[in-house]
Amino acid sequence: FVYFYIGAFAGGGIVLNGRLFGGPTGNAGALGSMPVPGPDGKPTQLIDVASIAMLEKALNAKGIDGSHLWTSPQEWGDIGAELDEWIANAAQALAYAIVAASSVIDFEAAVIDGWMPLEVRRRLVDAVTDAITG
C-alpha cells in the first residue's frame, strides 16, 4: 500500500510485502516531494499543498492564530472556511498523488493518516475518494 502521513509536513512511504520500501539509497517513496498540481494548477510538491503547515499559514494570513493546530491532534475547534479550503486543496493533491503512484505499482490500498482530529481526517479521506471516483 501507499501511505501518506499529513503532519507539519506531508510525507509518507510505500509498503511492499509487509515492509517499508526505501530502495537502494533509502529515498524511495519520498511522497512529500511528489509533483502535484497546486491550487493554481501549476506544478508544485505535495508537501506544499497538503501539509498542516499550509493550513496554519492560511489561518495566520487571515489574522487567526494557527498555533492551536499543534497543541492537540484530537481537537482543533471551529476553523471555518480556511479548513474547508485546505481540505479541498489537500484532497486534490493527494488524489493526484495516489493515482500517479498507482500507475507505477498496483497498490491494494492508499492509507491517509496524520496529526489531525478524526473528523478532519474523515472529511479529507472522503474528499480524496470523491476526487478519485468523481
- pLDDT score of 26: 81
Q: Which residues contact 67 (CB under 8 A, 6 or more apart)?
A: 56
- pLDDT score of 1: 96
- Cα separation, 9 vs 37, whole angstroms: 17
Q: Which three cell numbers stand for residue 98?
A: 495516489
**Is the model's pTM score more than 0.85?**
yes
Q: pLDDT in tens for each of the 134 residues of the chain?
A: 999 999 999 999 999 999 989 888 887 788 999 999 998 989 999 999 999 999 999 999 999 999 999 998 899 988 989 999 999 999 999 999 999 999 999 999 999 999 999 999 999 999 999 999 98
- Cα separation, 23 vs 85, whole angstroms: 35
Count: domains in the chain: 1
User: Residue 89 belongs to what domain range?
Assistant: 2-133
| Domain CATH code at residue 88 | 3.30.420.40
Neighbours of 66 (CB within 10 A): 19
- pLDDT score of 72: 84
Strand order in the sheet with 19-21: 19-21, 10-16, 2-6, 110-114
